[in-house]
């Protein structure tokens, strides 16, 4: 059974054309000069029960708008959308029983209350039976070290503990679909790993559909088989990551290390090769398309002009693929 069905979904906003300066502001007060902005443009997709879908796109691509339509906060301008078996904006209350929502930086828990009390209130709100509630809590105990969290007021928790608690709270009523909006934003490496493991385990155990929006490709690599990419409201890609990697099969990342200012070196290399070049504290990365030029040829050329101390060769990473798609699109 498919758990989300979206067909030709479009959302447009009317935005006032703003004028500059004080005179412009006064003009705006009386202006009827609107323009239409299309935030989501004719998107269609079907998500099966139990899938984890990475929903990706640069800032302002229309991700939030789509999520808001799926959760019933926004009414679509046109198109069809069914989540669970509900038309979201028509029946928000019924939908709420079927879904869970987590925002990376906005806790939905009662700020002053210890976590266990929040859980007990949620148990009442969602009418979770004692049996299901206890089973879920037992499952949580097998997954995370929950005891130290239970008696701590949410406001005293670290960001990581709070996110963890929010995720546990979102799954508590065993929803069919959970929307996770940047669940690992601002967290340290070990907390990120913990949260990814938890999401994976919950998905496996409960067969919950998960829609994950993120900018962290580590989340995608750890959790998603399928990704959907949108930009400027339009769908760019909807398929397996493996498939996407096939697309870029001829790409290799050549990493070189050298003495001196890496940013300056990267700048020079950019003039010498025809590929995208980036530098971090340790490595200069060159994304080589082997259909154009072999990696070893590039390396050979660079050896003449630079003093290379070390090198590595890598497959293209998800991060780089996504970056390429944002920048160039999929042919």
Partner 1 sequence: MHRSIGFYLRIYGKILVQDIKSKMSYRSDFIISTIGMICTNIAGFVSFWILFQNFPSVDGWSYYEMLFLYGFSLVSLTPVQCLFDNNWSLRIYVYSGDFIKYCFRPINLFFYYQSEIFDIKGLGQLAFGIGTIVYAWAKLGLPVTVLMILKMIVFLITASLIMIALQNAAAATCFWIQNSFYVLDLVFRFKDYAKYPITIFSPVFRFIFTFLMPIAFIAYYPSLVILRPDEIPLLSWLSPVIGLVFFFLSYKFWMYGAMKYSGTGS
Binding site for partner 1 (CB under 8 A): 59-60, 64, 68, 71-74, 92-94, 96-97, 99-101, 103, 106-108, 110, 112-113, 117, 120-121, 124-126, 153, 181-182
Smallest distance from the beta carbon of 59 to partner 1, in angstroms? Answer: 8
Question: Which residue number, 27 or 64, has a Cβ lying nearer to partner 1?
Answer: 64
Question: Which residue number, 248 or 326, has a Cβ lying nearer to partner 1?
Answer: 326
Close Cβ partners of 125 (under 8 Å, ≥ 6 residues apart)? none
Smallest distance from the beta carbon of 3 to partner 1, in angstroms? Answer: 17
Question: Which residue number, 76 or 220, has a Cβ lying nearer to partner 1?
Answer: 76
Please give the order of strands across the beta sheet that includes 34-48: 34-48, 2-16, 78-83
Question: Which residue number, 179 or 237, has a Cβ lying nearer to partner 1?
Answer: 179
Report helix angle 115-125 to 159-171, nearest 10.
20
Question: Which residue number, 74 or 198, has a Cβ lying nearer to partner 1?
Answer: 74
Coil, strand, or helix at residue 316? coil
Burial 229-259 (b: 16+ CB within 10 A, else e): bbbebbbbbbeebeebeebbeebbbbbbebe
Smallest distance from the beta carbon of 310 to partner 1, in angstroms? Answer: 40
Greatest alpha-carbon pair distance for the chain in Å reads 72
Smallest distance from the beta carbon of 133 to partner 1, in angstroms? Answer: 14
Smallest distance from the beta carbon of 86 to partner 1, in angstroms? Answer: 11
Burial of 26 (0-12, 13-18, 19+ CB in 10 A): exposed
Smallest distance from the beta carbon of 248 to partner 1, in angstroms? Answer: 29
Compute the Cα dihedral for 107, 111, 115, 120 and give only its sign.
Answer: negative
Left, alpha or beta for 165 (phi > 0: left; psi -120 to 50: alpha)? alpha
Smallest distance from the beta carbon of 127 to partner 1, in angstroms? Answer: 8
Question: Which residue number, 59 or 142, has a Cβ lying nearer to partner 1?
Answer: 59
Query: Which ranges in 144-230 belong to alpha helices (H)?
Result: 147-150, 159-171, 189-206, 217-223
Integer Cα distance of 297 and 252 in angstroms: 13
Question: Which residue number, 94 or 323, has a Cβ lying nearer to partner 1?
Answer: 94
């Amino acid at each position: 059974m498919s758990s989300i069905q979206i067909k030709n979904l479009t959302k447009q906003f009317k935005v006032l054309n703003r004028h500059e300066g004080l005179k412009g502001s006064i003009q705006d007060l009386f202006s009827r000069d609107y323009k239409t902005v299309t935030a989501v443009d004719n998107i269609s997709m079907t998500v099966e029960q139990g899938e984890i879908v990475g929903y990706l796109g640069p800032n302002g691509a229309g991700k939030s708008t789509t999520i808001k339509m799926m959760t019933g906060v926004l009414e679509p301008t046109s198109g069809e959308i069914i989540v669970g078996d509900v038309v979201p904006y028509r029946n928000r209350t019924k939908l709420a029983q079927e879904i869970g929502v987590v925002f990376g930086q906005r806790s939905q828990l009662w700020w002053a209350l210890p976590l266990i009390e929040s859980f007990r209130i949620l148990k009442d709100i969602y009418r979770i039976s004692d049996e299901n509630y206890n089973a879920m809590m037992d499952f949580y105990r097998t997954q995370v070290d929950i005891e130290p969290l239970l008696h701590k007021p949410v406001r005293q928790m670290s960001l990581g503990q709070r996110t963890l608690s929010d995720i546990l709270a979102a799954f508590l009523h065993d929803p069919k679909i959970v929307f996770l909006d940047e669940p690992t934003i601002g967290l340290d490496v070990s907390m990120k790993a913990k949260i990814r493991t938890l999401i994976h385990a919950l998905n496996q155990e409960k067969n919950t559909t998960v829609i994950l929006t993120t900018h962290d490709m580590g989340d995608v690599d750890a959790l998603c088989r399928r990704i959907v990419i949108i930009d400027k409201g339009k769908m760019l890609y909807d398929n397996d990551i493996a498939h996407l990697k096939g697309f870029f099969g001829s790409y290799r990342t050549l990493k070189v290390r050298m003495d001196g200012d890496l940013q300056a070196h990267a700048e020079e290399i950019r003039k010498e090769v025809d590929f995208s070049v980036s530098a971090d504290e340790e490595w200069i990365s060159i994304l080589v398309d082997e259909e154009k030029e072999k990696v070893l040829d590039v390396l050979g050329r660079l050896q003449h002009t630079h003093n290379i101390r070390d090198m590595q060769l890598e497959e293209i990473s998800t991060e780089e693929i996504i970056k390429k798609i944002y920048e160039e699109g999929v042919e």
